[in-house]
Amino acid sequence: MVDYQLSDEHEQLRQAVRSFSLKEVAPVIGDYYEREEFPYPLVGSMGEMGLFGLPVPEEHGGMGGDYLALCVAIEELARVDSSVAVTLEAGVSLGVMPIYRFGTPEQREQWLPRLAAGELLGAFGLTEPDGGSDAGACRTTAEQHGSEWVLNGSKAFITNSGTDITGFVTVAAVTGRKPDGGKEISTIIVPAGTPGFTVAPKYSKVGWNASDTHELVFEDCRVPAENLLGQRGRGYAQFLATLTEGRVAIAALGVGLAQGCVDECLRYVEERSAFGRRIGQNQSIQFKISDMELRAHTARLAYYDAASRMLRGAPYQKQAAVAKLAASNAAMDNARDATQIFGGYGFMNETPVGRFYRDAKILEIGEGTSEVQRMLIARELGLPA
């Protein structure tokens, strides 16, 4: 029998993050969201708790946990706020893990301890203005001139790329041509503040307003040759592996948002009266909340399954895509239903439900659109490309 019960260690972590989310995040995050301001104090506290180092071995300054521990923490944060949750998700899945998975001993020593402590954030530079789902359409170039790489190009929608604690961006760039004429894509670490590396003003976003997102521009940006991450020409494969892993974590975020909608509705229907009775007594409301719980629970099992396969070293590409698709669907559907239950109050940004509704949509787009997930699932089922 498969047991999806969390271990004692994972459950203790879940409770600790839940307590932090309710006591520290919930009272203040609405103000950060309205001001579109990055919550440095909260991120600092998350660093002190060791959340950014959860899947990082102790010898590199981490907590020595596993990827499921990271997902559990992300889910609990997202039950209260997605901006904070995605800062952790992107900071680890897209910032820490490429260095840990593909970095040289020197690169790990340079970056991992401060990343794991939450003192620095790393960003993941794949998406370009003309290439989102089509990551192979990369136009950013990196030419080797002696002992340096010279980068030119731009990246779009990059999370954690312009904060005061951003340490670097890992950039996918075309470094040559393969024997068959295709693009040779490699990965280059570009430290923040490098001449020729410009961070554009932050985007005005529909949701995730307390997270950091920017366009990045590289104009004759020079970095040492040793900033190559992993093997030359393996950058595309590295990014695909990183995205597959990250889909499990972003699924956990979607589950957290979906469950947060249930939490808020259960509280609200006990307070709100209409036509002389609590609205929680209405069967139509009860059925709607029951469906919301069903979606959250089912999506949680999907990401638990994907994470379990990942930790066992078993293939999990299909399961990661299933989890991401199920969780983003659950988040969108639950946010819509929660807003309906709240009525006019659900349309107000001052309520968590209002923020959940705005935050849910990006889950169907970021880290692989829902259409891409369906393509991946179809491919794993053996359907023709």
Question: Could you give the 3-state DSSP secondary structure of residue 215?
Answer: strand
Count CB atoms within 10 A of the CB of residue 22: 14
Tokens of 350: 């001052």
E-assigned strand segments in 99-146: 121-125, 141-145
Cα end-to-end span (Å), the chain: 35
Long-range contact pairs involving 289-293 (C-beta distance under 8 Å, separation at least 24): 289/262, 289/265, 289/337, 289/341, 291/337, 292/258, 292/261, 292/262, 292/265, 292/333, 292/334, 292/337, 292/338, 293/262
**139 touches 131 (CB < 8 A):** yes
DSSP letters along 37-73, please? ---HHHHHHHHHTTGGGTTS-GGGTS----HHHHHHH
Q: How far apart are CA 160 and CA 19, in angstroms?
A: 25
Q: Which two tokens stand for residue 144?
A: 């080797």
Buried b or exposed e, range 117-150, using 16+ CB within 10 angstroms: bbebbbbbbbbbeebbeebeebebbbeeeeebbb
367 is catalytic: yes
**In 10 A of CB 58, how many CB atoms?**
11
- CA dist 84 and 361 (Å) reads 16
Catalytic-labelled residue, pool 119, 367, 371, 380: 367
**Total Cβ atoms within 10 A of residue 106:** 9
Q: Helix or strand or coil: residue 151?
A: strand
Length of the chain: 385
Cα(239)–Cα(134) distance, integer angstroms: 13
- Residues annotated catalytic, as ranges: 367
